[in-house]
Chain A
Amino acid sequence: MSTDNWDAAEDTSPIAHPAIARTSPQSVAMMRRRRLLRGIGRQALLQALCIFVAITVLFPIVYVFGVALDPRNIARPDGLNLIPPNPSLDAFSRAIAKPSPNNISFLNLALNSLQLAAATSLVSVAFGVSAAYAFSRLKFKLRSFLMIAVLAVLMLPAVATIAPLFVLLNGIRFGDFVLRNSIPGVALALISGALPFAIWNLKGYLDTIPKDLEEAAAIDGCTRNQAFIYVILPLAMPALAVTAFLGFVAGWTDFYFSWMFLDHPQNFTLTMALYQMVGQYASTTPWNVLSAFAILVSLPVSVVYLIFQRWIIGGLAIGGVKG
């Protein structure tokens, strides 16, 4: 970007500018034309760069839709067919009709994923918010010790706790029921990481709510609990929603705990079926069905994320994230 006198004069009125006011009308017209041309050139360069970046961003997305909508029903793409003629939703209906060679329907896969997502989301937020409030507002012994304990857990990736969780949950049995080999067992494993994250994320937000509001509530005769329920919770609603959504995504897209823990196909989740399509059943899965299935798995969380991205990313910037 050049910053000579012409650009510097851009924001001021040309008549009022002494350098221009002193020049002849002819050269003013020439300068205006030159400035206009330079502006167009600069805009063209910016647009070219932006369009190039947009193409690189959109390429994989357009590609996966292109493969999924290809009407020819071929096992593998035979060329780069980004916008197929006569697109058809056939691959989507095939992905829903038979998502896996195992005996489980798309609806059951989705319901299992939904249970994991809902449990992770609700438990981590419900239990996390009161602890976050204590860390944000109350003074007590062991406060910094407990906070460091929560942070230390966040530092460790979820995969790193899979061995003890597997062994411990495997030991909890009621008759034939093995907690490890069930949706609630996987949900517990997910909550073990999602709950410390929720505490940390919510504490970061509660720290930004001014204390004056509670002081005013105290003067009006509120107890601590009333101030928490009627003052803090409503104000923390955006952060609660964001944390709940992130917990939901963690459950919905979980792969490694489900894949490790669940043996019975009727307990399988969407991500497990997706992995089978690129793993053990890769040779028999047509790519249009795989692409359609990937879109179906991604769509619910991606659409919500896209609509509320401003709040979600803002919430992330305040807290932090466990990967």
Chain B
Amino acid sequence: MSAQAKATYAPKRRLFGADARVAFLYLIPAFAVMAIITFYPLVYQVWMSFTNFGPANLNVRRPAPLDWVWFGNYVKILTNDISGIPNYDFIRIVSFNLFWAFSNVIIHLILGVAIALLLNQKGLLGRSFYRAVFVLPVVIPPIIVATVWHNMFDQSNGAVNFLIAIIGRQPPGSVNIAWLTDPGNPIPFFPLLPLSYFALLAANVWLGWPLNAVVATGALQSIPKDLYEAVEMDGGGAWTKFRYVTLPFLRPAMLPYAIYGFVITFNLFYLSFIMTNGGPFGRTELLVTQAYRLVNQQQLYGVAAAFSVIMFFILLTLTIITNRLTKATASYVD
């Protein structure tokens, strides 16, 4: 990004005289607002994270004295010593959160590219109709998606169990899978994933692949047709075309999008919060939903601030790793 910014920016000569003073005037409205409501709260957050800020400290007229606890909140978070949150396990939350984001993004990518290829087939009838239908999940707000899928996975009245009953030729109501609350492990040797993970996965795959398909379609349309003809002339088949023409063109377009999708999925609040409410036993809790619960339900403002600081460093690490990966694998176009 910085290379691109430099390229578009570096002026050959000054057009309108001194930039610096003008720049100040153009920046001041936004940065004055952000200084107060964006940057100051972030600094305040770091300060809060070293205190035991709680509901008693909210009283403005007679604030309770604030204790400086140094790294006490951080130690509590990392050693699973937070009172009031049942089933809290920091390592499990981070592992589940990472697995959640990776598994989703990989499925989104594969489905997105596969369906974009399907829609790109020569002579497909009704192409624009399918394009219009397939983009529908993108336009529905995630909180609505989470609400609807929450009901669809309901144990006794949910559409998913009704559908399974119809497919199995059973009367409605005979299938009673507790998708969102069953405490068992569907994969016995991998106890990280309860059944509700798969319900969340189904909802998020529904929600996530269409945007990948849109991005992949754009990339597919930019591939020069004569490259495919060249492969045909050399006697190459469909796989050769995909491997040596389609894939090298898709990768530079899809990789930044995959990273963006990873961050979005990593921080996806609504599905976990509304569909499973973090359950069963907190096993589908994500870092964002746990951070929210610390503030909203436990009112542990100091601990929540420390939790957010830890989250920031996890995201920073992930961003640095993914940036390295992008650079290491970028070769074709860059």
Contact = CB atoms under 8 A, between A and B. Distances in A.
Interface of A: 1-3, 8, 39, 43, 46-47, 49-50, 53-54, 56-61, 63-64, 67, 76-80, 123, 126-128, 130-131, 133-134, 136-141, 143-144, 146-147, 149-150, 153, 155-157, 159-168, 170-171, 173, 188-189, 191-193, 195-196, 199, 207, 211, 214-215, 218, 223-224, 227-228, 249, 252-253, 255-256, 259-260, 271, 274-275, 277-278, 287, 290-291, 294, 297-298, 301-302, 305-306, 309, 313, 317, 320-321, 323
Given A50-B118, A60-B145, A214-B15, 19 more contacts: A46-B118, A57-B137, A61-B140, A78-B172, A131-B27, A138-B23, A139-B11, A144-B2, A159-B292, A163-B304, A165-B37, A167-B57, A191-B37, A218-B16, A224-B22, A253-B141, A305-B139, A317-B257, A321-B264
A256 B269 contact: yes
A57 B136 contact: yes
B124 interface: yes
20 contacts: A53-B118, A79-B173, A80-B162, A131-B26, A131-B27, A138-B19, A146-B31, A155-B316, A160-B311, A163-B295, A164-B42, A167-B48, A192-B34, A207-B8, A215-B15, A260-B295, A278-B147, A287-B151, A290-B147, A298-B140
Nearest to A129: B30
Q: Which secondary structure dominates chain A's binding surface?
A: helix
B9 A131 contact: no
B198 to A, nearest CB: 15
A323 B172 contact: no
B38 A323 contact: no
Given A133-B26, A160-B308, A321-B264, A57 B124 contact: no
A162 B40 CA distance: 13
A301 B138 CA distance: 11
Contacts of B39: 149, 153
B260 interface: yes
B147 A294 contact: yes
A227 B214 contact: no
**Residue in A50, A131, A224 whose Cβ sees the most chain B Cβ within 10 Å:** A50
Contacts of B156: 76
A98 B150 CA distance: 22
A163 B20 contact: no
A157 B272 CA distance: 15
Contacts, number: 288
Interface residues of B, number: 106
B200 interface: no
B23 A134 contact: yes
B60 interface: yes
Nearest to A171: B60
B194 to A, nearest CB: 20
B33 A50 contact: no
Q: Would you list the 8 A-B pairs with minimal beta carbon distance, nearest first? A: A131-B30, A224-B16, A305-B139, A134-B26, A140-B23, A79-B172, A157-B267, A164-B41
B121 interface: yes
B23 A3 contact: no
Nearest to B115: A53
B237 interface: yes
A306 B139 contact: yes
Contacts of A59: 159
Contacts of B291: 159-160, 162
Contacts of A323: 263-264, 267-269
A53 B134 contact: yes
B270 interface: yes
Contact of B138 (A76, A77, A126, A305): A305
Contacts of A259: 296
B113 interface: no
B125 interface: yes
